[in-house]
Amino acid sequence: MSTERVGNTLTDRWAQLQGTRSQSISDTVRVFEPSKIQPIIIKPTVKTYEELETILKKVINYDGVWITVIKLYEAGMGAELETAAEIALATAKKSPFNMFAAMISKKSGNWEKRTLQIVHDTWEVRRNAMEVLDKLKLGADSAKAILAIAWRLRGNIIRLLALATEQGNKIRNPIGLFFALTKKPKPAAT
């Protein structure tokens, strides 16, 4: 290759680079807009305190708990508080008020030790369920069943999904295989 051709090539490339640099970011960046609404919300979006307060009124009935909630919200824990309220409403056997108060208790240190771990585990299970829905191309109507399977299997669900969708094994029905792998075993008859 001659020096003249290399020089022309470099000049052309330099002009192309300068042209792309002169464009604004809004010209070059594409905004991703999901085509459909996701059936499972993994991590709630950060809400204003007034919006969060309407959710938390379902699980708080003491002024002292509100003081703790305000401190946690100011520390940037709005999404964690919302998820903890969802957990208290969904799993409380007697009273969601008592359960939520115990979850954020400062005396026993439940917030740092246990509640944040439960909240992050909840987000991980939701993320795994969304991955299953996405890879198997399942509809939103099966989200509740997949979420139940994800809770039961926790971290193993992704491994079973990989087995069901493995490319080299010529699997004709990955959805059927996935559900067969995740099926609860029946107790043996004696």
List the one residue out of 182, 41, 45, 181 whose CA is nearest residue 125. 41
pLDDT of 75 above 80: yes
The pLDDT of residue 25: 54
Percent of the chain past pLDDT 70, that is, above it, reads: 85
pLDDT of 35 above 70: no
List the one residue out of 85, 96, 80 whose CA is nearest residue 55. 85
Q: pLDDT band at 30, cuts 50/70/90?
A: low
Q: pLDDT band at 158, cuts 50/70/90?
A: confident
Q: Which residue has the higher pLDDT, 121 or 23?
A: 121
Q: Which residue has the higher pLDDT, 23 or 135?
A: 135
Tokens of 151: 């809770």
Residue 82 has a CB neighbour count (10 Å cut-off) of: 22
DSSP letters spanning 77-130: -HHHHHHHHHHHHHH-SS-HHHHHHHHT-TTTTHIIIIIHHHHHHHHHHHHHHH
How far apart CA 148 and CA 141 sit, in angstroms, is 13
pTM for the whole structure? 0.69
